[in-house]
């Protein structure tokens, strides 16, 4: 399997090269040159555990790591999860909740980032190289990425997050890690500002090469690859296929579901659930992708107006026409808006925005009816699924993707339910020293700080 860029100037990369490149050198996103057809495998995959399915599926995209070694890396990645089968399925009346928060940082991103950390460690060790990771987070990516690579001798990780726009517990999960290779940067501005700085730094080819920069955000293909597994896992446990509702900010999670469907897993529909930051909902309604003001909401990981993984979806929507994609992205960069000409076909994928009141109402309803607690991101998905997907019209199971443990958002949960959730992992953080560097929202400030903190001299 080889990898290419959505923007057409990079192709023929091995998986390991794609892993370390992160963002493509032509500023596009890396995708596989072909998408495997797994329909002949479905019957024998149906009863596999999560780890077994990962060990069967992931090698279809990775052929430059010894299969036995790769199987071991996958098994090791999920050994720290506190559920017997890594992820869990909870039935709430006519809706199934796919719990993805049983990893070490209690967020769905652990599923990908625990594996990403193991892959980085293996490939860098084999090549005798080091990597300096630069990432941006709206909440959960930062702590999950840090946990995946903390203490590794051949990696330094720099995570930018917007000041005052992640939850206090999310900030503690990042900043209380005291390993020497972990650096947290608190930036003035929004997550979109952090993400723009990250992409601009990566676009500086000389700087990226000199300081061996790599990515853990969902721009890194390996993140998306790992996430495909749980959509396959859940769809194969559905008697009639599945319609997934995915709370979405950066589009990486739902793009993994889109690829799972293209591979042949029994997925009938994907509902993209957004909060008041509704750029995706507006796109699917109008065909116009238009930047808006970033709103602070109860679901901060979704407080995003420029979804970085959306480029991958557009690439396939444009039938892999890189020239058309580049023209679209250039128009969006110049004007803050671009159009595909008409609303896209919503038979497979549609989108809806959910506001604060609807989010709180969903949390209250589920807690009252089922004694089950939703975090605010999952509540966005639950409300969207309950009100915009009807299993009576299509013979499919409705699955809501639960992205975080509710204890990560105690204020919102208490407002909705009257009770504050807790978790031992988070309680243990209270009182620990926080390590962070406050910086202005300035590209040069970030570049300078990164260079100052590196433990070894940069190599050209």
Tell me the C-alpha distance between 279 and 283, whole Å.
6
Count Cβ neighbours within 10 Å for each residue of 164-200 and write b for 16 or more, e otherwise. Answer: ebbbebbbbbbbbbeeebbbbbbbebbbbbbbbbbbe
- Asked if residue 312 lies in contact with residue 221, where contact means CB atoms within 8 angstroms, the answer is no
Catalytic residue among 4, 60, 109, 408: 109
Q: What are the residue ranges of helices labelled H in 101-241?
A: 109-127, 140-149, 168-175, 191-203, 205-210, 221-236
Q: 10 Å Cβ neighbour count for 366? A: 25
- Asked if residue 260 lies in contact with residue 234, where contact means CB atoms within 8 angstroms, the answer is no
Burial class (CB in 10 A: 0-12, 13-18, 19+), 270: buried
Tell me the C-alpha distance between 78 and 75, whole Å.
6
Tell me the C-alpha distance between 380 and 292, whole Å.
19
Q: Is 2 a catalytic residue?
A: no
Query: How many angstroms separate the Cα of 274 from the Cα of each of 29, 305, 379, 385, 421?
Result: 23, 10, 11, 12, 24
Q: Which residue has the tokens 């208490």?
A: 414
Tell me the C-alpha distance between 73 and 132, whole Å.
21
Q: Tell me phi and psi for residue 305, to 5 degrees.
A: -115, -5
Tell me the C-alpha distance between 460 and 450, whole Å.
16
Q: What 3-state class would DSSP assign to 390?
A: coil
Catalytic residue set: 109
């Amino acid at each position: 399997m080889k990898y290419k860029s959505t923007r057409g100037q990079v192709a023929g990369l091995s998986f390991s090269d794609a892993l370390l490149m992160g963002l493509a050198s032509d500023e596009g996103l890396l995708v596989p040159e072909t998408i495997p057809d797994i329909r002949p495998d479905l019957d024998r995959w149906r009863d596999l555990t999560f780890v077994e399915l990962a060990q069967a599926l992931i090698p279809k995209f990775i052929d430059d790591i010894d299969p036995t070694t790769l199987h071991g890396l996958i098994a090791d990645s999920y050994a720290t999860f506190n559920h017997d089968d890594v992820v869990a399925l909870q039935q709430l009346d006519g809706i199934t909740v796919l719990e993805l928060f049983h990893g070490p940082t209690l967020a769905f991103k652990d599923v990908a980032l625990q594996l990403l950390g193991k892959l980085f460690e293996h490939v860098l060790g084999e090549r005798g190289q080091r990597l300096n990771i630069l990432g941006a987070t709206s909440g959960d990516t930062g702590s999950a990425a840090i946990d995946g690579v903390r203490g590794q001798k051949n990696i330094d990780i720099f995570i930018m997050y917007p000041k005052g726009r992640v939850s206090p517990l999310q900030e503690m999960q990042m900043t209380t890690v005291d390993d020497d290779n972990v650096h947290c940067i608190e930036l003035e501005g929004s997550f979109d500002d952090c993400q723009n700085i990250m992409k601009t730094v990566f676009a500086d080819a000389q700087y990226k090469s000199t300081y061996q920069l790599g990515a853990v955000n969902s721009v890194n293909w390996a993140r998306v690859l790992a996430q495909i597994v749980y959509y396959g896992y859940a769809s194969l446990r559905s008697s009639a296929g599945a319609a997934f509702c995915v709370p979405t900010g950066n589009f990486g999670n739902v793009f993994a579901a889109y690829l799972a469907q293209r591979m042949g897993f029994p997925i009938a529909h994907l509902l993209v659930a957004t909060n008041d930051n509704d750029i995706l909902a507006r796109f699917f309604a109008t065909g116009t992708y238009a930047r808006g003001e970033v709103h602070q909401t109860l679901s901060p990981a979704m407080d995003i107006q420029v979804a970085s993984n959306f480029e991958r979806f557009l690439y396939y929507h444009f039938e892999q026409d890189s020239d058309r994609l580049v023209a679209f992205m250039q128009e969006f960069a110049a004007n803050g808006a671009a159009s595909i000409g008409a609303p896209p076909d919503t038979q497979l994928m549609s989108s809806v925005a959910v506001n604060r009141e609807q989010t709180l109402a969903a949390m209250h309803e589920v807690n009252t009816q089922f004694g089950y607690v939703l975090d605010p991101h999952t509540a966005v998905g639950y409300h969207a699924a309950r009100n915009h997907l009807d299993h009576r019209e299509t013979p499919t199971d409705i699955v809501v993707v639960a992205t975080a443990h509710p204890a990560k958002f105690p204020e919102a949960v208490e407002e909705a339910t009257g009770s504050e959730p807790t978790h031992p992992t988070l309680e243990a953080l209270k009182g620990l020293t926080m390590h962070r560097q406050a910086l202005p929202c300035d590209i040069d400030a970030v570049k300078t700080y990164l260079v100052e903190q590196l433990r070894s001299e940069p190599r050209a």
